[in-house]
Amino acid sequence: MTWTAQPTDDGSFTFFSAEFNEAFHSRQGARSEAFTKFAEATDLPEQARAPQLCLLDVCYGLGYNSAAALETIWAVNPDCRVELYALELDASVPQAVVDSSLVNIWLPPTQEILQALATDSECHSQQLSAKLLVGDARQTIQQLSMQADAVFFDPFSPRRCPQLWTVEFFQQVRGRLAPNGKLATYSRSASVRAAMQQVGLQIGTIPLGAAHLPHEWSQGTVAAIPSAASEAIRLTPLSPMEQEHLQTRAAVPYRDLSLRDSAQQILARHQAEQQQSSLESTSSWRRRWGIR
């Protein structure tokens, strides 16, 4: 499959997927997004003081989130040993990144890691044990028995790839999250946040940065296991607007009981549940808060 490279505002490139009709990253900056919405949102600069960390990268794609995480950790603590598991549907994506020399935005040691994962699906050294699992993440995640200190949750958008935004898949991910770990995603969707809450995760928002579009109210969502989400884990509370969003039909979550349904089946089920819901319409919420 051919991937079309597109520039982003921070000078880094991303790919556009014709299959999903979506880019892998926002236009504001592919590289900066990996740091802000994933490495920093999961508190890796603070967590890096530990002697070892375990990371789970759901939808590895171009490898930018893993790369940003490794560079963040080792900038703080070069001796931190990292265990990394990455899930990716299409092995041609990381290989295309290497072939297109897009890995050159990273430090040389990081480039070597991305190249090894793309070529051999694994990379091992004194400071790293990394493995790339290729296939449907709904199945490959079931091969893992781990406690991730940070989970980078980065599929295509819920409307394009609903299979990985369901209550059932979040249940699988929660089972691999360490008691003091954090999950971060770019999505601020009410359906996504509601699904996280249904599997017992406490959620917070990723506050807007200095530069953002007029219609944006958050950069994404962070989640943690409630028993640990107190002093040990800082979560920025949802704003009143975001809290009300969770009381609208937009908060009806996606479902996939078998973890094998097609996107079309999941979308049709979701639409039917929304139509039957007695929750406030999302358009009414938008009008109340002046969201266009």
**Rounded CA gap, 96 and 275, in Å?**
41
Task: Using the structure block, give the residue that is written with the tokens 């209550």.
Answer: 167
What is the percent of the chain where pLDDT is above 70? 95
pLDDT digits (tens, 9 = 90+) for 88-117: 999 999 999 998 889 999 999 999 999 999
Confidence band of 1 (pLDDT split at 50, 70, 90): low
- Of the pLDDT bands very low, low, confident and very high (cuts 50, 70, 90), residue 210 is low
pLDDT value at residue 229? 45
Averaged pLDDT for residues 127-151: 98
Cβ atoms of residues 33 and 26 within 8 Å: yes
3-state secondary structure of 205: strand
Q: Is the pLDDT of residue 161 over 60?
A: yes
Residue 218 has pLDDT above 60, yes or no: yes
If pLDDT is split at 50, 70 and 90, which confidence band does 20 have?
Answer: confident
Q: Is residue 24 predicted with pLDDT exceeding 60? A: yes
Residues 6+ away with beta carbon under 8 Å from 54: 82, 83, 84, 85, 146, 147, 148, 149, 178
Structural domains present in the chain: 29-239 (3.40.50.150)
Tell me the residue ranges of DSSP E strands in 142-286. 148-153, 177-185, 202-206, 220-224
- pLDDT attached to residue 148: 98
Helix axes 92-99, 108-120, angle to 10 degrees: 140
Q: What pLDDT is attached to residue 191?
A: 98
Question: Which residue is listed with tokens 């900056």?
Answer: 29
Strands 52-58, 148-153: parallel, antiparallel or unpaired by DSSP?
parallel
Q: Of 214, 149, 133, whose CA–CA distance to 182 is shortest? A: 149
Closest to 145 measured CA to CA, from 131, 158, 134: 131
Its pTM surpasses 0.85: yes
